[in-house]
């Protein structure tokens, strides 16, 4: 189950305006096939460092680099088991030998710069990737992470796989902003929910003395992941910081879904994207009515 893909209009404006002083750095672990299409509007403002034991894509430009290696919690060699669906290859006890490196090691050798965003999709090996990135996470100021995970537990992750990936990301200020998973169906072999995807984002709405680049990059992340209400909240909290960099009004207008957007959104996604706007007036009115009703109830 994939996370929602946004329209990326605000991200496109940020990229095309050239307002970022430093490019947005995406580290993609499990990058077979290249980066997700959601990033296309923002790609001109990005630097991408992709890793996969079976890289099946050539870098389309100098902004993107791909490395045929596994990423984990050790440096050396590991084995990759490759099923018929090569996109489900995973680290195993036997199989084809491939090099494996820690993100900490790659960072120490200046092979990768500090990251703004990390995507990890490595068929259950996500906790080990994060375990090998302790120093790298400290050196980076992560604004977000997209991680494939599960609710399942094992001797290696007794508190669940989700808890194992949450802990290091929470430690660095990230919080879950979106979540997607398939409900068990009658045709599935496993009755308990299987793999899912979690989006972690840093909440900067209450941050002080924040850099414009940080605000713009966060807005772009929320935009390409289809979270316009959160992006607008960030923009509202820091609009004065951005006024010298970009047309704030134009940026805000690009974040609000339009009627034409509703025709492009899949039926299951339509309510999810529109809900913050549909419910805002109802919630505000309800609060006002309740506030007026309380004195009446107390007087009785």
Indicate the domain borders of the chain.
9-256, 266-300
- Per-residue pLDDT at 279 exceeds 50: no
Helix axes 212-224, 9-17, angle to 10 degrees: 140
The two tokens of residue 226 are 């289809």
Structure tokens at 198: 């979690």
Q: Give all strands of the β-sheet with 196-202 in edge-to-edge order.
A: 64-68, 46-52, 24-29, 117-120, 144-149, 196-202, 174-181
Residue 64: HSE in the Cβ half-sphere, 13 Å Cα cutoff: 19
Considering only the C-alpha atoms of the chain, give the largest distance between any 2 of them, rounded to a whole number of Å. 78
- Distance between CA 72 and CA 52 in Å, rounded? 11
Predicted confidence (pLDDT) at residue 126 exceeds the cutoff of 80: yes
Please compute, for residue 142, the number of CA atoms within 13 A of its CA located in the half-sphere on the CB side: 25
Strand order in the sheet with 90-92: 70-71, 96-101, 76-81, 90-92
The answer to whether residues 177 and 227 touch, using CB atoms and an 8 Å cutoff, is yes
Q: For 18-62, write each residue's pLDDT tens digit.
A: 999 999 999 999 998 899 999 999 999 999 999 998 876 889 999
Q: Which of 1-5, 83-87, 140-144 has the highest mean pLDDT?
A: 140-144
pLDDT value at residue 162:
94
Helix (H) or strand (E) holding 98: strand 96-101
- Over residues 179-204, the pLDDT tens digits come to 998 776 665 565 566 789 999 999 99
Structure confidence at residue 299 as a pLDDT band (50, 70, 90): very low
Segment among 93-102, 213-222, 223-232 with least mean pLDDT = 93-102
Q: 80 falls in which pLDDT band (50, 70, 90)?
A: confident
What CATH architecture is 9-256?
3-Layer(aba) Sandwich (3.40)
Residue 137 to residue 141: CA distance in whole angstroms: 7
Residue 91, beta-bridge partner list: 80
For residue 8, how many C-alpha atoms fall within 13 Å in the half-sphere facing its CB?
A: 17
At residue 219, the pLDDT reads: 98
Q: Which of the two residues, 55 and 105, has the higher pLDDT score?
A: 105
Q: How far apart are CA 115 and CA 137, in angstroms?
A: 8
Question: Has residue 110 got a pLDDT over 90?
Answer: yes
Q: How would residue 273 be classed by pLDDT, with cut points 50, 70 and 90? A: very low
Which residues, 6+ apart, have CB-to-CB distance to 285 below 8 Å?
none
The C-alpha R_g of the chain, in whole angstroms, comes to 21
pLDDT band at 86 (very low <50, low <70, confident <90, very high): low
Looking up tokens 């509202």 gives: 236
Query: How many Å apart are CA 166 and CA 170, to the nearest integer?
Result: 6
Separation of alpha carbons 214 and 197, rounded Å = 24
For residue 3, give both structure tokens.
């996370």
């Amino acid at each position: 189950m994939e996370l929602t893909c946004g329209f990326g209009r605000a991200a496109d404006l940020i990229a095309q305006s050239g307002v970022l002083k430093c490019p947005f750095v995406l580290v993609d672990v499990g990058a077979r096939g290249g980066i997700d299409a959601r990033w296309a509007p923002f790609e001109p403002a990005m630097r991408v460092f992709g890793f996969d034991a079976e890289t099946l894509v050539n870098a389309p430009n100098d902004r993107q680099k791909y490395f045929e290696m596994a990423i984990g919690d050790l440096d050396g060699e590991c084995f990759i088991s490759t099923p018929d669906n090569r996109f489900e290859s995973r680290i195993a006890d036997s199989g084809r030998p491939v090099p494996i490196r820690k993100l900490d090691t790659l960072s120490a050798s200046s092979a990768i710069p500090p990251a703004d965003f990390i995507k990890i999709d490595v068929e259950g090996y996500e906790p080990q990737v994060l375990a090998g990135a302790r120093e790298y996470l400290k050196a980076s100021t992560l604004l977000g992470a997209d991680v494939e995970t599960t609710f399942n537990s094992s001797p290696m992750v007794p508190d669940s796989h989700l808890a194992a990936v949450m802990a290091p990301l929470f430690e660095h200020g990230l919080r879950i902003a979106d979540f997607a998973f398939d409900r068990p169906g009658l045709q599935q072999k496993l009755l308990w929910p299987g793999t899912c995807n979690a989006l972690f984002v840093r909440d900067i709405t209450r941050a002080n003395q924040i850099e414009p680049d940080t605000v713009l990059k966060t807005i772009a992340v929320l935009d390409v992941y289809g979270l316009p209400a959160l992006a607008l909240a960030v923009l509202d909290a820091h609009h004065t910081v951005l006024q010298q960099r970009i047309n704030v009004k134009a940026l805000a207008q690009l974040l609000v879904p339009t009627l034409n957007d509703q025709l492009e959104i899949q039926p299951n996604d339509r309510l999810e994207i529109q809900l913050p706007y549909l419910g805002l007036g109802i919630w505000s009115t309800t609060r006002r009515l309740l506030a007026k009703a309380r004195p009446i109830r107390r007087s009785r």
